[in-house]
Amino acid sequence: MGVGCGTGENSSLEKESSKAEDSSSQNKRRQLRDKSDYGKVIALTFDDGPNTDTTPLVLDKLEEHGIVASFFVIGNNITDESAEVMKRAYNMGCDIENHSQSHPDMTKMTAEEIKAEIDFTSDKVEEAVGERPQFFRPPYIAVNQTMFDAVDMPFICGYGAEDYNNAIGVEERVEKVLAQARDGGIILLHDMNGNVQTVAALDKIIPALKEQGYEFVTITELFHAKGVAIDPDSEIIYSYAEQTEMYG
């Protein structure tokens, strides 16, 4: 690694560490309110981080619009640098959830391999923010019985904009999200490296949904607000806090 590259990484780490410390000093962890205090709620979620490229830009947008989201992270993406970004998200009031260690097709894995993937990421998250993930989003939304038996967390899906596809432009991403929005809904987007079109789309998605009367909440808060009791042993994939999809 060259000196210049190393210097750049240190500068990036210092910047994110500073932001994480700033957010920590005014920790905004959300307290669950009485269910009657909630109106229309929706959860914005992001997959495939954390990183020091796109994830900070997403956090900037969340702060700018005064909302929270939930991040389903990949364990192998959690480095010293990206952990600082993750801490910033957590201290802003966002949920940090589990999206596996390496994003494999878990339907081709043994129960032991699946558990190792989950535990690795949960351990890394707990080490960084002091709290273990409570929800799991399966890679590719691919599931089978072995996964349900091995994973002791609720499975979360959601509706999205196919924003992992660079051919889908900003306006189409906005249209796809808004067309599917509903009370208790889970929006599935990606904060993977270089996904700047989704970052730009947030400036239209968030105000539009606010105008429709939605409050943005975390995944944890969403299920609480809608009064949905979650059984981690149930064979359900949640796309909405009011609507469930049974496996099999």
Query: Residue 17: its pLDDT value, please?
Result: 56
Average pLDDT, the chain: 91
pLDDT score of 25 more than 50: no
pTM, two decimals, is: 0.89
Domain coordinates in residue numbering, the chain: 3-246
In angstroms, the CA 228 to CA 220 distance is 10
Query: Residue 6: its pLDDT value, please?
Result: 32
Mean pLDDT is lowest, of 21-30, 71-80, 91-100, 128-137, for: 21-30
**pLDDT tens string 44-55:** 999 999 999 999
pLDDT score of 247 more than 60: no
In angstroms, the CA 191 to CA 41 distance is 22
pLDDT score of 23 more than 60: no
Mean pLDDT of 61-83: 99
Contact of 194 with 225, CB cutoff 8 Å: no
Catalytic annotation present for 224:
no
In what helix (H) or strand (E) does residue 43 lie, and over which residues does it extend? strand 40-47
Please report which confidence band the pLDDT of residue 8 belongs to, taking 50, 70 and 90 as the band edges.
very low
**pLDDT tens string 95-144:** 999 999 999 999 999 999 999 999 999 999 999 999 999 999 999 999 99
Q: Which of 92, 76, 93, 97 is nearest to 20 (CA)?
A: 92
pLDDT score of 73 more than 80: yes
Query: What is the token pair recorded at 35?
Result: 């269910």
Domain 3-246, CATH class in plain words: alpha beta
In angstroms, the CA 173 to CA 158 distance is 15
Share of the chain above pLDDT 70, in %: 86
- From the candidates 163, 190, 191, 224, give the one annotated as an active-site residue: 190
Catalytic annotation present for 22:
no
Query: Residue 24: its pLDDT value, please?
Result: 52
Q: Which of 135, 154, 140, 175 is nearest to 245 (CA)?
A: 154
In what helix (H) or strand (E) does residue 171 lie, and over which residues does it extend? helix 170-180
pLDDT score of 2 more than 50: no
Please report which confidence band the pLDDT of residue 21 belongs to, taking 50, 70 and 90 as the band edges.
low
In angstroms, the CA 62 to CA 210 distance is 13
**pLDDT tens string 136-180:** 999 999 999 999 999 999 999 999 999 999 999 999 999 999 999
pLDDT score of 87 more than 60: yes
Please report which confidence band the pLDDT of residue 231 belongs to, taking 50, 70 and 90 as the band edges.
confident
